Structure 1
Amino acid sequence: MIWIQFAILLVAILIGARMKGIGLGVMGMVALLLFVFVFRMQPADPPIDVMLIILSVVTTAATLQAAGGMDFLVRLAEKVLRSKPSLIVLIGPLTTFVFSVFAGTAHITYSLLPIIAEVSTKKRIRPERALSISVIASHLAVTASPISAATAALVGILGGAISLPQVVMVSIPAALVGILAGVAVCWKKGKDLDKDPVFLEKMKDPEFAKSIDTDTSGSRAPLLPGAKTSVIIFGLAVLMIVLVGAFPNLLPSFEPGHPNLAINKLGNIKMAAMIELIMLGAAAGIMLICKTSTAAVAKASLFTAGASAVISIFGVVWMSATFMQTNQGVIEAALGNMVRSAPWTFAIAIFLLSILLFSQAATTQALMPLGLSLGIVPPHLVAMFHGSNGDFVLPGYPTLLAAINFDRTGSTHIGKFLVNHSFMIPGLVAVGVAVAAGFFFAGILL
């Protein structure tokens, strides 16, 4: 019976992935309906915390975008990227990593990828080298960000055994080591542009050749008046989240034994609730101080992307959690001996599921509780956290497609066999090394 249920789960994910957007969410609900009415499976708890964190963080990021703060940050990044064009393969991914850690989402890189592509092309460095590892770096940043839904989900699952700052202390350096390994394999990836037959053929077109060397750095509209102020407010909110995670005694406590969505059984406010409160409070501050309209926030591209992510996670995580809850005994029996003798092998399961779920938060919510029940200690689960970045394997994630579209030279591509694309090798190397580095740093710091 479990194999029939698993087949339904896989079919729902595959069809949802082809539908794109909210497809994963709605197909997850279809599978869940079959689980409940056909197989009489008891539904698990829906991922309310993860959904609310995504909504609050993305709403605040969209408010930052509507206030002009995102434009201000992009211009800062552009100065950095253009300052050392010969090092774009190194500076590009480090920039996207820092931005995505700060914002808690990889979707912020849409504004940076065209700059990376342009700088690479003008310097006649193959854009595939910088773009591929820059996209992977932005994904690793999600599992290194203190305000991402994935990080908050992990902290909640670990139940206070490891705090938010401790997770970040391991995940940030581990991600940076993984990114540097990815940079190393991308440094000479593919043919140089002056030897690439596809690029040389395109350069025969005078219009294309002229557009390649046109300087676009100065063609920008003036910044909105509250742009810099909005960045300061957002930054203070991120800092406050880290502080309350490091010093939970700063928060009020309540009578134990009455848990709810915001309070745990000990009477302490959950970290997820604090992220939601602080982020939406920051959004209100940006709107009031920077005079940003709510209509502009609702129209921001980040707000639309966040709404789509919420629906997708709602359906696919609820479906996966129900499957895991119903078949927990069978799964534990199958994986138990292997995982207990070699705990690192659980990272492979995390990676494989993340390929299908296209979400670090969804993968964390679905598999990390299973890891605890299998007896994996919390420090090891933190070390494996970067393994949930398998969303690059199937080239359907929006950041991958954006990078391909921004590269006018055609060097960044999807291969003939679908999985032999530009992001595969740097992704496998960066994620694999990040997990290995995670075990090293967890052993030292936790």
Structure 2
Amino acid sequence: MDIMLILQIIVLLGAIFIGIRLGGIGIGYAGGLGVIVLGLVLGMNVDTKMIPWDVVVIIMAVISCISAMQLAGGLDYLVQIAERILRSNPKYINYLAPTVTYLLTILAGTGHTAFSMIPVIVEVAKEQGIKPSSPLSIAVVASQIAITASPVSAAVVYMTGALEPFGWSYPVLLAIWIPTTFIGCMITAFIMTLVSNLDLNSDPVYKERLAAGLVSAPKGAQNMEVTKSAKLSVLLFIIGVIVVVLYATAISKIGGKPVLIENVKVNRDSAIVGIMLTVAALIVILCKIKASKIPETSVFRSGMTAAVCVIGVAWLGTVFVSGHTDQIKALSEEWVKAIPALLAVVYFFAAMLLYSQAATAKAITPVVIVALGITASDTSNVYMIVASFAAVSALFVLPTYPTLLGAVQMDDTGTTRIGKYVFNHAFFIPGVLAIAFSVALGFLATAIFG
């Protein structure tokens, strides 16, 4: 390892550390700072073409549509439905909480929808005398892993486009990723329920906060009046998601032949952006909301913050990866071919630094495809990528992701906390387990479908 590589790694990690300290949108800003230092000081090639613009555009389109639905009351309506599910069997909150956040992410294509569920999970857990940290940690992890199974997420749209030329179609990939990731989360919930001390009253931090009057009493179910506009906005959004799935399936190829549409004029990326913006327009018109107020919604603010973070951090990571493609190819060819599961480890560590499932997939996958000698005529190693995809969800490792921090801040019992050693937080073990099970199931599923 030469001195220049060492300096480049220091800049990469240093920029990420500064971003963590700044928090929020500052992570994206620090990424830009790191890019400048890598380019001007350390001589690496820098180009704005390295920014995953397609990923950013999809995130912005989906978030803008969900924001319109939120303004129309649709998101509150979905949360109310989810709350009823949680309260219907509160003793099983460790399973129901991640199920709800997983399904919301599958539908919306963003894990930020978990924000709306965190207060509900805390309330139901307190009512049952269960430490909120247990269902919260699994639920937040599930909302991140579900990104790799959502038909409208930027990560899935990119990966299906990258893998389809090698014989893995959009519907087949969803048929693998959805059950493997969901079952992985449920197995994790089962294990954490078995090994965790769920008794809220036994937690010393909770006792201290309760004595100090810092813990609010459970409020019970919150019944809100649901307007016609709220229901209509949800219906329009669901129809939009269904149209995306149907169109993406129609232009996919199975066995080298198109499912339905042969002469594709609108590719998958363009379709999802166009459909989401169209749905947003219909929500504004039919639900009679003011478009000028959409940027004021919480979903819009958090989503656009995420987009800037992707621009900065993904750009930083891509610049570094592009400068060391040959070394990465050599390592991938030697290690991953020997032990296929190591690709999941590569995705895992890249994701914890790049802060985005889609950005991680786009930075690492093309290099791995070349390193493994994958071509249209030799697709024998593609299964490794398909099976390992869930590992790009390791955004929980560093306790800086918005939904993770939101869970810590909103749990007034103090059971969901970050340890003094940074990595010893409530989300680490559930996250590692969920990814490990999802990847293991992925290898099993690819053996069947392959």
Output the TM-score relative to the length of structure 1.
0.91
Deviation at 1:115, TM superposition (A): 0.8
CA deviations 1:11-41 (Å, max 9, x no partner) are 2222122222222322222232233334152
Match for residue 303 of structure 2?
A: 306
Match for residue 114 of structure 1?
A: 119
Contact 2:310 / 2:359 at 8 angstroms: preserved in 1? yes
**2:201 matches 1:194:** yes
RMSD: 2.0
Match for residue 39 of structure 2?
A: 36
Give ranges in structure 1 of 5+ residues lacking alignment.
Answer: 254-266
Matched residue count: 429
Partners of 2:355 and 2:319 lie apart in 1 by 18
Contact 1:251 / 1:269 at 8 angstroms: preserved in 2? no
Output the TM-score relative to the length of structure 2.
0.90
Q: 1:245 to 1:212 in 2, by over 3 A?
A: same
Match for residue 351 of structure 2?
A: 354
Match of 1:104 among 105, 109, 113: 109
CA deviations 1:88-120 (Å, max 9, x no partner) are 111111111111110111110111111111111
Partners of 2:144 and 2:33 lie apart in 1 by 28
**2:326 matches 1:321:** no
Partners of 1:201 and 1:369 lie apart in 2 by 52
100-109 vs 335-344, which moves further:
335-344
Contact 2:210 / 2:413 at 8 angstroms: preserved in 1? no
Match of 2:422 among 418, 424, 440: 418
> Once superposed, which parts of structure 1, at least 4 consecutive aligned residues long, lie more than 4 Å away?
201-205, 249-252
Partners of 1:198 and 1:319 lie apart in 2 by 39
Contact 1:385 / 1:435 at 8 angstroms: preserved in 2? yes
Match of 1:225 among 223, 228, 232: 228
Deviation at 1:47, TM superposition (A): 1.2
Q: Which AA in structure 2 matches 1:434?
A: S
Partners of 1:10 and 1:197 lie apart in 2 by 35
Q: Which AA in structure 1 matches 2:369?
A: L
Deviation at 1:3, TM superposition (A): 3.0
Mapping 1:272-287, distance limit 5 Å: 272-287=269-284
Q: Which AA in structure 2 matches 1:123?
A: Q
Contact 1:155 / 1:163 at 8 angstroms: preserved in 2? yes
Deviation at 1:191, TM superposition (A): 5.0
CA deviations 1:385-423 (Å, max 9, x no partner) are 110111111111111111122222211111121211111
Match of 1:148 among 150, 153, 157: 153
CA deviations 1:280-317 (Å, max 9, x no partner) are 11111111111121122111111111211221111222
**2:79 matches 1:82:** no
Q: 1:40 to 1:118 in 2, by over 3 A?
A: closer
Q: 1:251 to 1:42 in 2, by over 3 A?
A: same
Match of 2:170 among 164, 172, 187: 164
113-122 vs 7-16, which moves further:
7-16
**2:180 matches 1:183:** no
Match for residue 378 of structure 1?
A: 382
Identity, % of aligned positions: 35
Partners of 1:345 and 1:7 lie apart in 2 by 24
Q: 1:100 to 1:225 in 2, by over 3 A?
A: same
Match for residue 242 of structure 2?
A: 239
Partners of 2:306 and 2:245 lie apart in 1 by 24
Deviation at 1:202, TM superposition (A): 4.2
Match for residue 73 of structure 2?
A: 68
Determine helix, strand or coil for the equivalent of 1:343. coil
102-111 vs 313-322, which moves further:
313-322
